[in-house]
Structure 1
Amino acid sequence: MTGAAWGLLCLTLLIALADWVAVAADRRPAEYALKPATMVALGAVVLALDLPDGQLRWWYLAAIVASLAGDVFLMLPETAMDPEPAFVAGLGSFLVAHLLYVVGMIILGVSGGALAVGAAVALVVIATVGRRVVIGAKATDRRLFAPVMAYVAVIAVMIATSFGTGIVVGIVGALLFGLSDSVIGWTRFLRDFPHSRVLVMVTYHLGQVGLVLALATAG
């Protein structure tokens, strides 16, 4: 990583930490500024990386932009939009982000054996947490069944592909990103628990950072 990339990564983590504090204190105005600012800073990290393959930068940057859109949509229920359309829009944005990360990881390179291990892990995630979240979504609103089921499937593909790269920091990042999404689904469709929003943000940001650090190994 370049010196600029390291500096921007430190800035990203500082903004993320401030966001976690804002979420813990339920300071919504600060959260609305800090949450997207974290992703903007992380996007700057991607731009600052010295990469041998120009394609990689743009796939990962596109994933971050899609995630940023998802962040904004998921904040809208508290402000302007009806909750369900905003949730579905956020779901769609993050689904696209996961797919973009999958393409980026494939360009990084995947091995069949590691991919098979990742597929096994992903199937366990689907059979346990994913299945319950999908059932909960259907019970909440039948219209959410198909989009939530598709989203769970895409998360599984993203996790499996991360294993295929063999890059540990990327695998951890994908798992944390999946955990963040799982907590969102669990608390929305099954039951909430204390400090769930903080857990969502910590795992989300660290997951995204892990995926970007995996990209840095290509530099």
Structure 2
Amino acid sequence: MTGLAWVLLAGFAVVSALDWVAVARRPEGQLLETVCKPAALGLLVLTALALDPEDGGQRVWFVAGLVLSLAGDVFLLPAVDRFVAGLASFLLAHLAYVAGLAVDPGSSLGGLLVGAVVVAAVGVVLGRRVVSAAARQDRAMVGPVMAYIAAISAMVVAAVATGDPPAIAGAALFYASDALIALTRFERPRPWAPRAIMVTYHLGQLGLVSSLTG
């Protein structure tokens, strides 16, 4: 990792921590969150660009995923609250990550099968729960939610296929973050969820970016 990447990563850590504080203090922390949430991903985009990756093509896809995630972050800010637009942005981000992970030289058929089995097992329980909750609230959301689950599941499978611990951990944390968002939005609010969502999300993105260095 380059010296510049380390500096940017330190900035990401500080801004992310400030965002976690802001989220925990809603609504008083809304202004700080509005600044720090997109700034954190912006710094992670710059970190990815400053890295010395094993595969430049993989970085292109990861940067695309980060930029789309940044757009999703803005759409999901409490001051904006465009859930469908945010969902679409993150769906595309997951597909970009799938493309980037697919070109990883460490990917294997065995890893792909293991990932598929694990994700299928989780999906039977958690995916059905989320879809059922979405249907009870708004049946029009069932299709988009199912498409989103398919996209993020594909990302986790692709990460497991690489056999790379940072990529696997990053994808799993990203999945956990999105599951919490869905359960909080479609089932019931959970006082601890907003901070947990952001902590797992930022660490998940960090894991994926870290995997670029091999």
TM-score, normalised to structure 1, is 0.93
TM-score, normalised to structure 2, is 0.95
- Report the Cα distance in structure 2 between the residues aligned to 1:114 and 1:209, rounded to whole angstroms: 22
1:169, 1:213 within 8 Å by CA — same for their partners in 2?
yes
**2:76 pairs with one of 66, 74, 77:** 74
- Alignment correspondent of 1:139: 136
Q: After TM superposition, give the deviation of residue 102 of structure 1 in Å.
A: 0.6
* Residue 153 (str. 1) matches residue 150 (str. 2): yes
- Report the Cα distance in structure 2 between the residues aligned to 1:51 and 1:169, rounded to whole angstroms: 14
- Report the Cα distance in structure 2 between the residues aligned to 1:210 and 1:199, rounded to whole angstroms: 16
- Report the Cα distance in structure 1 between the residues aligned to 2:84 and 2:204, rounded to whole angstroms: 22
* Residue 44 (str. 1) matches residue 46 (str. 2): yes
- Alignment correspondent of 1:185: 182
Deviates more, 1:31-40 or 1:1-10: 1-10
**SS of 2:76's equivalent?**
helix
1:117, 1:163 within 8 Å by CA — same for their partners in 2?
yes
Unaligned runs of 5+ in 2: none
- Report the Cα distance in structure 1 between the residues aligned to 2:66 and 2:76, rounded to whole angstroms: 15
CA RMSD of aligned residues (A): 1.1
1:123-152 superposed Cα distances (whole Å, 9 cap, x missing partner): 122111111001111111111000001101
1:136, 1:190 within 8 Å by CA — same for their partners in 2?
yes
Identity in percent: 48
* Residue 99 (str. 1) matches residue 95 (str. 2): yes
Q: After TM superposition, give the deviation of residue 53 of structure 1 in Å.
A: 3.0
* Residue 129 (str. 1) matches residue 131 (str. 2): no
- Report the Cα distance in structure 2 between the residues aligned to 1:125 and 1:11, rounded to whole angstroms: 34
Q: How has the CA–CA distance of structure 1 residues 51 and 113 changed in structure 2, closer, same or farther, with 3 Å as cutoff?
A: same
Tell me the amino acid that sits aligned with residue 39 of structure 1: L
Tell me the amino acid that sits aligned with residue 212 of structure 2: L
**1:174 pairs with one of 171, 175, 178:** 171
Q: After TM superposition, give the deviation of residue 52 of structure 1 in Å.
A: 4.3
